[in-house]
């Protein structure tokens, strides 16, 4: 388990002390072990070399006078050195002159002497040294000694194991001591922090037991709790004030909404009543005007007939305005009942009606096929009649008139458009476009009451959609609208334009 993953600081502290002790012990032990092995090797080699030199000096005379017994007696003195396994003295011809073996069993030794030197071979040390006197080689001394490297390694491992056990015990004692002075205040503070987090009781405080960094940590924690308690109290006070203000605001909104709804109902009732009540006087004015034209045609001069015609035209315009106002009021009160509607077929029907009323027009009509939307059939019909009727009207002065109805889809949402190449309008006045009785062209140039786009706007809003336009003078206009109900509507995967001529 990694130190960073241990959850308890006590475990982390204990493991940290233990690792520190073990690592220190390993480093120091390895250093001592390496130093001792080097020293042991050097000492063993030097001792064997010195021993060979002493034997060479002691047996020089025996070699010179060919006295093997004297040489063997000198080698027998090696019993005092139990580490020596084998000792051999070769004569000048390389033949064994005298031998010594540790114990009663004779050991093996080289048949011929080798060059001077000391070598370490596993668990033994071998030395060859020539016996020279007055520049003459009398013979060679061979010594073979024990090199107990593995025994020393076993001893070191035993010492290291014992030292490790002692280090663990010391770490336990030191950790217990440190826990009382260091970790216990931290653990108590952590327990208190968990309790505060669970109960939201910021009045609790940690107990300070020292003046060191741990005590500073406890003081800072208590100050933080005090600040949180103060801010929580202030926040609760503010929350109560905001709640009270929200309740008052909601009550005011409810009252104002009720007042607004009542005002709207009164305005709609007033508009409907006024529009309805104005019909009778207008019919009377129009009827009497027509009677004057018919009954007194032979008695009226040109000026009088012109005035009567203007009276009748004004009454007809007024009547149309009243009809549009009534229609606008009815749409405001209408409920939306959406269902799947084939807009492409509905658009073709509207174009057929426009063409039947104006058979002399030659208009290129482009209707995208397969456009199906979810909308109120009666209301969406009014939208199409107004938008397509405006396009038909404002392209009347273009000999190559073209009107297109299509749809663009993005992320499952549909945007419908009606495009024409008619008179267009200045986008600087686009904010007035959907306001009732606001017109961007003179009545003599293009007739109308200015109610149609306001009616379209209300219907689109009732469907949860949006209506906007883009145009330029003399470059036609494009009206876009969306229907919120169209998100799940069925339609052809890729609607294709279908050209028709009306």
CA dihedral 23, 28, 31, 37 (to 10 degrees): -120
Please check whether residues 253 and 272 belong to one and the same domain.
yes
One domain for residues 351 and 418: yes
Per-residue model confidence as pLDDT tens digits over 139-153: 899 888 887 777 777
Residue 486 banded pLDDT, cuts 50, 70, 90: very low
Residues 423-441 have pLDDT tens digits of 888 777 667 776 665 555 5
Over residues 309-321, the pLDDT tens digits come to 777 777 776 666 6
Q: What is the mean pLDDT of residues 70-77?
A: 84
> Among the listed ranges 96-100, 357-361, 409-413, which one has the minimum average pLDDT value?
409-413
pLDDT one-digit tens code per residue, 204-254: 777 767 666 677 777 787 788 788 878 878 888 888 888 888 888 988 888
Residue 154 maps to a domain: yes
For residues 398 and 279, state if they share a domain. no
266 with 386, same domain?
A: no
Q: Does residue 190 lie in a domain region?
A: no
Domain boundary among 121, 152, 167: 167
Residue 133 covered by a domain: yes
**279 falls within a domain:** yes
Highest mean pLDDT among 74-78, 330-334, 400-404: 400-404
pLDDT, tens digit (0-9, with 9 covering 90-100), for 361-396: 888 999 999 899 999 888 899 889 989 988 888 888
Q: Is the pTM of this model over 0.75?
A: no
**Which pLDDT score is estimated for 487?**
39
DSSP-assigned beta bridge partners for residue 414: 409
144 lies in which domain range? 3-167
Q: Is the pLDDT of residue 12 over 50?
A: yes
- Whether 95 is covered by a domain: the verdict is yes
Domain presence at residue 180: no
Q: Is the pLDDT of residue 345 over 90?
A: yes
Q: Does residue 15 fall inside a structural domain? A: yes
Question: String of b and e for 54-76 (b: at least 16 CB within 10 Å)?
Answer: ebbebbbebbeeeebeebbebbe
**Region for residue 234 given its phi and psi (left: phi exceeds 0; alpha: psi -120 to 50; beta: otherwise):** alpha
CATH of the domain at 135: 3.30.450.20
- The answer on 138 and 116 residing in a single domain is yes
Model confidence band, residue 8 (pLDDT cutoffs 50, 70, 90): low
Residue 84's H or E segment, with its range, is strand 84-91
Q: Do 359 and 473 share a domain, yes or no?
A: yes
Question: HEC states along 321-366?
Answer: HHHHHHHHHHHHHCCCCCEEEEHHHHHHHHHHHHHHHCCCCCCEEE
What CATH number is given to the structural domain containing 464?
3.30.565.10
Cα 244 from Cα 233, distance rounded (Å): 17
Choose among 68, 51, 64: nearest CA to 136: 64
**C-beta neighbour count of 495 within 10 angstroms:** 20
Q: Are residues 146 and 54 part of one domain?
A: yes
> What mean pLDDT is reported for the chain?
78
Residues 223 and 133: their CA atoms lie apart, in Å, by 94
pLDDT of 157 reads 77
Q: Which of these, 450, 451, 428, 431, lies nearest to 441 by C-alpha position?
A: 450
Provide the percentage of residues in the chain whose pLDDT is more than 90: 9
State residue 182's pLDDT score: 66
The verdict on 110 and 163 lying in the same domain is yes
Q: Is residue 489 predicted with pLDDT exceeding 50?
A: no
Whole-angstrom distance, CA of residue 469 vs CA of residue 456 = 12
pLDDT for the residue numbered 496:
42
Provide the domain count of the chain. Answer: 3
Which pLDDT tens digit goes with each residue over 165-179? 877 777 777 766 766
Q: End-to-end CA distance of the chain, in Å?
A: 85
Q: For residue 452, is pLDDT > 70?
A: yes
292-302 pLDDT, tens per residue? 767 766 666 77
Q: Are 275 and 329 in contact (CB under 8 A)?
A: yes
């Amino acid at each position: 388990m990694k130190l960073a993953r241990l959850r308890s600081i006590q475990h982390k502290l204990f493991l940290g002390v233990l690792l520190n002790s073990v690592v220190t012990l390993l480093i120091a032990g390895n250093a001592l072990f390496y130093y001792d092995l080097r020293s042991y090797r050097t000492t063993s080699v030097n001792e064997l070399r010195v021993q060979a030199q002493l034997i060479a000096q002691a047996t020089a005379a025996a070699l010179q006078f060919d006295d093997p017994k004297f040489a063997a007696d000198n080698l027998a003195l090696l019993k005092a050195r139990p580490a020596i396994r084998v000792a051999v003295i070769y004569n000048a011809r390389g033949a064994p002159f005298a031998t010594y073996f540790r114990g009663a069993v004779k050991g093996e030794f080289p048949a011929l002497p080798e060059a001077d030197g000391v070598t370490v071979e596993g668990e033994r040390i071998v030395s060859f040294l020539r016996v020279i006197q007055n520049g003459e080689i009398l013979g060679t001394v061979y010594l073979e000694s024990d090199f107990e490297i593995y025994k020393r390694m076993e001893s070191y491992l035993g010492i290291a194991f014992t030292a490790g056990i002692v280090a663990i015990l010391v770490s336990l004692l030191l950790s217990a001591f440190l826990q009382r002075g260091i970790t216990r205040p931290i653990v108590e503070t952590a327990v208190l922090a968990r309790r505060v987090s669970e109960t939201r009781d910021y009045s609790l405080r940690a107990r300070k037991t020292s003046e060191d960094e741990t005590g500073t940590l406890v003081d800072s924690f208590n100050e933080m709790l005090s600040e949180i308690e103060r801010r929580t109290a202030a926040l609760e006070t503010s929350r109560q004030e905001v709640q009270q203000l929200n309740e008052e605001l909601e009550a005011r909104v409810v009252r104002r909404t009720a007042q607004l709804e009542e005002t709207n109902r009164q305005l709609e009732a007033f508009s409907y009543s006024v529009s309805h009540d104005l019909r009778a006087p207008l019919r009377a004015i129009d009827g009497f005007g027509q009677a004057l034209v018919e009954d007194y045609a032979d008695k009226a001069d040109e000026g009088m007939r012109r005035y009567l015609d203007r009276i009748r035209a004004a009454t007809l315009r007024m009547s149309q305005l009243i009809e549009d106002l009534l229609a606008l009021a009815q749409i405001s009160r209408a409920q939306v009942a959406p269902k799947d509607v084939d807009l492409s077929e509905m658009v073709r029907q509207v174009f057929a009606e426009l063409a039947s009323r104006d058979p002399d027009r030659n208009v290129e009509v482009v209707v995208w096929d397969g456009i199906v939307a979810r909308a109120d059939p009666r209301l969406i019909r009014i939208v199409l009649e107004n938008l397509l009727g405006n396009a038909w009207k404002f392209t009347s002065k273009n000999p190559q008139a073209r009107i297109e109805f299509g749809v663009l889809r993005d992320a499952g949402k549909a945007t419908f458009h009606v495009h024409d190449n008619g008179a267009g309008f200045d986008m600087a006045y686009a904010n007035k476009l959907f306001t009732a009785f606001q017109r961007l062209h003179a009545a003599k140039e293009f007739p109308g009451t200015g109610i149609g786009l306001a009616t379209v706007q209300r219907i689109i809003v009732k469907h949860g959609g949006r209506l906007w336009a883009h145009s330029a003078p003399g470059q036609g206009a494009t009206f876009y609208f969306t229907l919120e109900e169209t998100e799940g509507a069925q339609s052809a995967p890729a609607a294709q334009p279908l050209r028709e001529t009306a």
